[in-house]
A and B are shown apart, each in its own frame.
Chain A
Amino acid sequence: MPTTPPEETTDPADMTRLIDTAEVIICCGSGGVGKTTTAAVIGLAAAGRGRRVAVVTIDPARRLADALGLAEIGSEPARIDGTWPGELSALMLDAKSTFDSLVRRYAANEAQAAGILANPFYRNISGTLSGTQEYMASEKLYELHRSDDFDLVVVDTPPTRNALDFLEAPERLSKFLNHKLYRAVTAPSRGVLKVVNAATGAVLRQVGKVVGSEVIGDALAFFSAFEGMEEGFRQRATAVAELFADPATAFVLVTAPREDSVAEARFFAGRLSDDGIEVRALIVNRMHPPFGEPDPTADDRAADRLSDAPGGEALADYHRARADLRRLARDERSNLSELTAQVGSAAIVHVPSLATDVHDLEGLTRVGRSLLVN
């Protein structure tokens, strides 16, 4: 099917350079824009260029596991067999087991670790707490980056609004562990602090009436059990934050050209820029081809004229088909113009809309070819 070469795309060499030199690539963007697939495509492209790559996905997309030739993606890196010169591994984030292993690492002894792992409050925050998944993603990313097994770690982040938490998660957890409630319950009970404790106790009893006293009890037990471990967590959070800011880490913004997706992408680009982080590449998936020019008016007129003329109805539909596609292409390009300006020097790649989803390595490689010059 003939498609016009996407205009407004930057020199493909920029993307190639990024894939050749980055040590960490973080793919961010809202849900439903092909982020997981893009992460896999980048991983495969880098392995194709001789790098040893780990792709970390958060979304348990079965199709992606299939596409990568894996029965399922587990929480430890699994090697994918292929003919590329480099190496490709994939793993899926399991927030709870990552958190558990952190607790084991920083606990002073096994008894402390066991006490925390059994605490109901901990079981809650480690499983479904909003932000934990994001924190653990950054944690896993750090661990893989430090390992000698990989040259490049590609991360597929949770959908946009949570992906913002991704940036703040290490800091938030360390703040949480340094909370004044924690301080109050673990501080020695004498002098001024005793007064603080009494006041805190009164508030806690009140709060217990609302949220249930066992929630408070479990929380206090958790904080007491955590004593001495928060420093390890805090140092780790700082190290992860430094990794995000490191020039070897590249943020790749993934979007679809629809208005709502672009609005989300702009929101995200703004947030990254607030944090002093540069978007290194913008990947626009599912661009519709304009079939000549992105202007539907001539086809609209032709369709109107033909449907009034005898025998013109079938040809009118051909013009309608092209008008619809040109209208889409026109709107998509206009949606993207401000985003493109906003990300400034980023490499920009448009990936054409495919009639079917990508299901296999061949499909991923094909998309990869539109990302880079091989």
Chain B
Amino acid sequence: MAGLRGENVDSTQFFTASRLIIVAGKGGVGKTTAGAALAIAAARSGLSVLLVELEGTTGLSRLLGCEPLGYDPVEVPLDAETTGSLTARMITPDQALLDYLADHGLKRVGRAMVSSGILEIVSTATPGIRDLLVLGKIRQLETERAADLIILDAPAAGHAITFLRSPTGIAEAATSGALHTQATEALAMLGDPSRARVMLVTLPEETPINELVDTAYSLEEDVGVMLGPVVVNGTWPPLPGLDVELERAASEAGVTLSDDEADSLRAAGAYRAERTAMQQSQLERLGDELPLATLNLDFVFTNELETADLSRLADRLLDEIDALDAVLSD
């Protein structure tokens, strides 16, 4: 179904539906991995992609196999057959602020704000000002078309809502001034589905799915941002052989198992089957509770996810996106 990546129009359409994709999800669901896999998949669809991480997230540069991320964009090495390109950078509120003030001829104010400690007071007192500075920088990159697609690895779930609500809060708190303008512009971007959408990441487990559903509704209602398909990370792939009883499986293979070995294999098979069934029922529940399409990524049983694993996940995402389009165009 997937065909040659270079000829794949469907995934290109998918990735160009908005110029910014905000990847959000509860901690521990593999949000950063999903964001990186999406970025590589988009680059394989021929786009120039900018992957943005925020302060404090770790491990992305190792995963991507590039040098540690800083404020300036870093080129991420990709497979030779990749037609697009990928750069990555980290955006911090302080640098975003200094950038912003410099752009507006207010460099001196920036220094005064920092040295007098007023920035600290104002940012303590105005919730979301630091979030807005980052979001404002991303809005600027989006408007300037710094890349065909910007992918933002957003803060963890609860904070993603706070993060994305920051312009609303500030537009209300500051009814004039440069910050107000910044907030209004960010709001316009978030409210426009051709500019920004959120892709939520979850695990096929009960609590993460509950939180996902809550986050999805609150993003839609409080922020008014468009939601794209949900990435479901860590689905244990089914092993069809486990449907065959162990005794029969052994006799078909012409193998005689000791009692201990049979007990151990049966227990491992049962554990796996139970886990797979539980995940399937959670996925069904997700489908019932949230009217969004899903992109499923298999659980990676190895510990340290390597660049090669990431590449496989990106391929899997492209397959899932193709399948998605097939469903949608039916």
Spell out A's residues near B (CB within 8 Å). Answer: 1-2, 30-33, 61-63, 120-121, 124-125, 127-131, 159-161, 176, 179-181, 200, 203-204, 206-216, 219, 222, 256, 258-261, 263, 289, 291-292, 306, 309, 311-322, 324-325, 327-328, 331, 334-335, 355-357
Contact = CB atoms under 8 A, between A and B. Distances in A.
B244 interface: yes
Given A325-B268, A328-B301, A212 B58 contact: no
B125 interface: yes
Given A291-B267, A317-B249, 11 more contacts: A2-B263, A32-B208, A207-B109, A209-B177, A214-B176, A219-B121, A313-B241, A315-B250, A317-B269, A324-B236, A355-B274
A209 B252 CA distance: 80
Nearest to A257: B303
B125 A219 contact: yes
Given A124-B126, A200-B116, A331-B302, A289 B271 contact: yes
Contacts of A260: 28, 59
B116 A319 contact: no
A312 B271 contact: no
A207 B303 contact: no
Nearest to B239: A317
A319 B265 CA distance: 7
A128 B128 contact: yes
Interface string B262-294: 011111111110110010000000000000000
A312 B121 contact: no
Nearest to B55: A161
A357 B207 contact: yes
B296 interface: no
Interface stretch (B15-23, B35-43, B84-92, B167-175): B167-175
Given A212-B176, A214-B174, A219-B122, A203 B116 contact: yes
A313 B156 CA distance: 41
Which interface residue of A291, A309, A331 has the most chain B CB atoms within 10 A? Answer: A291
Interface in B42-63: 56, 58-59
Contacts of B188: none
B260 to A, nearest CB: 9
B113 interface: yes
A121 B109 contact: no
Nearest to A223: B121
A180 B169 CA distance: 26
7 contacts: A32-B207, A129-B124, A209-B109, A214-B173, A219-B122, A219-B125, A327-B301
B103 interface: no
Contacts of A216: 122
Interface in B202-258: 205-208, 210, 236, 239-244, 246, 248-250, 252-255
A62 B178 contact: no
Contacts of A222: 125
B125 A259 contact: no
A157 to B, nearest CB: 13
Nearest to B240: A317
B126 A211 contact: yes
Report the 10 A-B pairs with minimum CB-CB distance, sorted nearest first. A317-B241, A212-B174, A31-B27, A32-B28, A331-B303, A212-B177, A314-B249, A322-B268, A314-B241, A314-B244
A134 to B, nearest CB: 13
B12 interface: no
A324 B179 CA distance: 52
A173 B56 CA distance: 23
B3 interface: no
Given A1-B267, A31-B156, A327-B301, A315 B249 contact: yes
Contacts of A212: 173-177, 179-180
A319 B242 CA distance: 10
B139 interface: no
Contacts of A259: 303-304
B268 A211 contact: no
Contacts of B120: 179
A213 B177 contact: yes
A124 B241 contact: no
A31 B301 contact: no
Given A125-B124, A179-B121, A181-B118, A215 B174 contact: yes
B141 interface: no
A256 B246 CA distance: 32
A1 B117 contact: no
A125 B122 CA distance: 10
Interface string B90-124: 00000000000100001001001100111011101
A256 to B, nearest CB: 7
A258 B28 CA distance: 9
Given A206-B109, A291-B267, A355 B162 contact: no
B29 interface: yes
Contacts of B129: 211
A216 B275 CA distance: 55
